[in-house]
Amino acid sequence: RKEVEQDPGPFNVPEGATVAFNCTYSNSASQSFFWYRQDCRKEPKLLMSVYSSGNEDGRFTAQLNRASQYISLLIRDSKLSDSATYLCVVNSWRWDMRFGAGTRLTVKP
């Protein structure tokens, strides 16, 4: 089983749609969680950290479920500029940051 697993997609949604991504991780001792965004042929960049209580940043909401060992990202009112690959990242004491393979999102007009 991979340490961090994501649905690779692609997710093709119209502008204005709400889309959600899930990510599961195998190490129950994992400590911190993130979503990174990667545009085509660019480097990954931090989108948001994921806190235990859940957190929101504008149209983006991240949730953590430790019992089920998954994190989620919800994007509301999708914009064309949201088209990218979204990487789930998990960090623990045993191994440093481990990235999921990414979920590709395409927002269409």
Binding of other proteins at residue 44 (CB under 8 A)?
yes
What are the residues whose beta carbons fall under 8 Å from the beta carbon of 98, sequence distance 6 or more? 3, 4, 25, 89, 90, 91
Q: Which stretch binds other proteins (CB under 8 A): 9-17, 26-34, 67-75, 76-84?
A: 26-34
Closest-CA residue to 11 (of 109, 108, 105): 105
Q: Decide: is 55 part of the binding site for other proteins (CB under 8 A).
A: no
Instruction: Check residue 10 for interaction with other proteins (CB under 8 A).
Output: no
Q: Does the protein bind other proteins through residue 22 (CB under 8 A)?
A: no
Closest to 81 measured CA to CA, from 44, 108, 42, 49: 108
Q: How far is the CB of 77 from other proteins (least distance, A)?
A: 26
Report which of 20, 42, 38, 43 is spatially closest to residue 84, judged by C-alpha positions: 38
Q: Does 45 bind other proteins (CB under 8 A)?
A: yes
**Minimum CB–partner distance for residue 29 and other proteins (Å):** 11
Interface residue with other proteins, options 51, 57, 66, 80 (CB under 8 A): 51
Of 76 and 99, which CB lies nearer to other proteins in the complex structure? 99
Q: Within 10 Å of residue 46's Cβ, how many Cβ atoms?
A: 11
